[in-house]
Amino acid sequence: MTLDAATWSRVTEIFERVAELSPAERNATIEDFAPDAVVREWLDKLLTAHDDPDELLIDRTVKGVVEALADDEPPEAEAAPDAPVQLGPWRLVEEIATGGMGRVMLGERCDGRYEQRVAVKLLAGRSRSAADAELLDREIRLLARLEHPGIVRLIDGGLTGAGQPYLVMEYVDGEPIDEWCRRRQASLNQRVELLRQLADALSHAHRRLIVHADIKPSNVLVDKDGRVRVLDFGIGELIRERAGPEGRALRCSPAWCAPEQLLGTSSASVAQDVFGLGALLLRLLTGRRVREGSRITRWLGGTISADTEHPPPPSTALLQHLPRARVRGDLDAICLRALAAEPEVRYASVDLFDADLRAWKDKRPVAARPLAPPARLARWARRHWVPVAAATITLGGLLTGIVLANSSARQMQIAADQARVEAERADAVRDFVLDLFRAADPLRAGGAELSTRQVLAGAGEALERSPELSGDARLEVLNVLADVQRTMGWTDDAESLLAQAMHLVETDPALAPEARAETRIQLGLAEVEKQEFDQALAQFRQAEVELGALETPAATRVRARAHTNIGSVLARLGRDDEANNALDRAEALLAILDPPMLELELVVAAARGVAA
């Protein structure tokens, strides 16, 4: 299916209006434009690519994308022949790849001098003049100067009988760098080492005034020996020289190219290869591209704009098996500097990029992230850990006695203070309970015999008359008494005391987390009595929030109670998987308690039975 300029202009005009609309709004808006069948077909293809961009689709040049959307056979003159075709001493055997730059055929030597397998790239377009042929010959001689183990060697080149340029290159049995790393779950060091091999190959080319300008995974293979091999050096420039005013679009792979290439404001430069290294580093660390498909299809639709947002640091979206601690900081900074939107902010050369990767590997400061003197000293110490360790041991021997003596005295003082506070609170609680039951003496109560319920019901008023009780002690008494009343079935009395307890929790931020969490548990148990299970679960979970990261023995006991009650309620509700998860957590906590809480272990066993 062919595409002329007028049709594409109409397609992109409608696409820009409807790309971000819902399906229903899209259809209505498209109908308002009343496009003809050809425009509608192209529009549907472009919208499909925008909504679900294919990895291979957006790895192509713009021309390649359009051809892929067309899903047509290439023109007969440019198509690979059905039968093998001979180009000089090379016979074409079969097609092995296709893309916006052209088609790649597997070839073999056929003149009998020696056996050799090659890759023959048939470049897009035709050369029509002797000047074109002379230019191609000059560029081939220039590219043939690239002799480096990381660069796929150019062997031959010329024009087919129909005037189509072709290049004969060394055949590499390999796979794209990102696929190689993914299939082998490559380590972080392996991924960085591959990038350093690529930087070395690019440096070799740059010293000969040749840039690649189309670094992307499909152009960077890893062979069976684990070595990087770079494809397609200079092909973008060959096409640009013959492509006229649309050369920018023809040689730019929008998912990977530098922003200035996307805008068409720059000829090929070292800065573009530095950006390509950064784009590949981002890919190998996160699995992501610098631009996603929706942005690329909008660019195809005519919305050409510079990148205004820098990608987030790789450590924030790291592949799961890579160590975040080793990426965060220095490797983040290296990647983001290479990906800077402004060419002058990037590394001035691929050698400087490689130097920073080497510094990262050696645990030295990197240029992309200047360090203050203390941080530099820490890096130095990590690199020279043996003498530093020896000096530290010597110095430590001198200081250990002083430190231990001070630490022991401090711990003893803390323990004594804590024991004193707990003793004072225990005395206060004991005195309050004694006073509470002394009040039930018939002689003091005017001869009346008070019931246990009456005694407990007066606890709230008695607390108000006991200002000597601290906030923590007061909350502890309220929780204990409410627990007794609820157990006895005196729900209204328990709720009255819990209301007082909750008022304390909300108004006194200095209360111990364990006591605050216990209040939440008592409120949750009261909700269970009323069959209000959602509210109960909310209170039990809030108890966990109150405890935070606290790991005292008391906190462990309260946390075990919270998870036991959560599991018990979820089991009653038939939410078996959630119940068992909560009960697993409760059992893990109960297993480390000393002395054990046997009553909670029984509750867990009962809840397991309900869930089963």
- Identify whether the C-beta of residue 228 lies closer than 8 Å to the C-beta of residue 194: yes
Annotated active-site residue in 214, 273, 330, 354: 214
DSSP state of 148: -
Structure tokens at 532: 């209000």
Contacts of 200 (CB under 8 A, 6+ apart): 148, 150, 354
Return the number of other C-beta atoms located less than 10 Å from residue 361's C-beta. Answer: 14
Strand ranges inside 30-88, DSSP E: 86-87
Closest CA relative to residue 319, chosen from 478, 181, 497: 181
- 158 pairs with which residues across the strands? 166
What is the distance between the alpha carbons of residues 385 and 488, in angstroms, rounded to a whole number? Answer: 66
Residue at token pair 């960085």: 192
For 520, left (φ over 0), alpha (ψ -120 to 50), or beta?
Answer: alpha
- Identify whether the C-beta of residue 459 lies closer than 8 Å to the C-beta of residue 436: yes
Q: How far is CA 488 from CA 437, 462, 466, 477, 540, in A?
A: 18, 20, 25, 17, 21
Q: How far is CA 167 from CA 76, 133, 140, 208, 230, in A?
A: 20, 13, 8, 20, 15
What is the distance between the alpha carbons of residues 168 and 105, in angstroms, rounded to a whole number? Answer: 9
Query: What's the half-sphere exposure (Cβ side, CA atoms, 13 Å) at 314?
Result: 34
Q: Is 214 a catalytic residue?
A: yes
- CA 430-431-434 angle, to 5 degrees, is 85
What is the distance between the alpha carbons of residues 237 and 267, in angstroms, rounded to a whole number? Answer: 9
For 447, left (φ over 0), alpha (ψ -120 to 50), or beta?
Answer: left
What is the distance between the alpha carbons of residues 341 and 307, in angstroms, rounded to a whole number? Answer: 7
- Identify whether the C-beta of residue 311 lies closer than 8 Å to the C-beta of residue 340: no
Compute CA 578 distance to the chain's CA centroid, rounded to the nearest angstrom.
27
DSSP state of 368: T
- Identify whether the C-beta of residue 510 lies closer than 8 Å to the C-beta of residue 471: yes
Helix H or strand E segment including 218:
none
**Which sign does the torsion angle of CA 309, 310, 313, 318 carry?**
positive
- Identify whether the C-beta of residue 551 lies closer than 8 Å to the C-beta of residue 533: no
Helix H or strand E segment including 452:
helix 452-457
Active site residues: 214
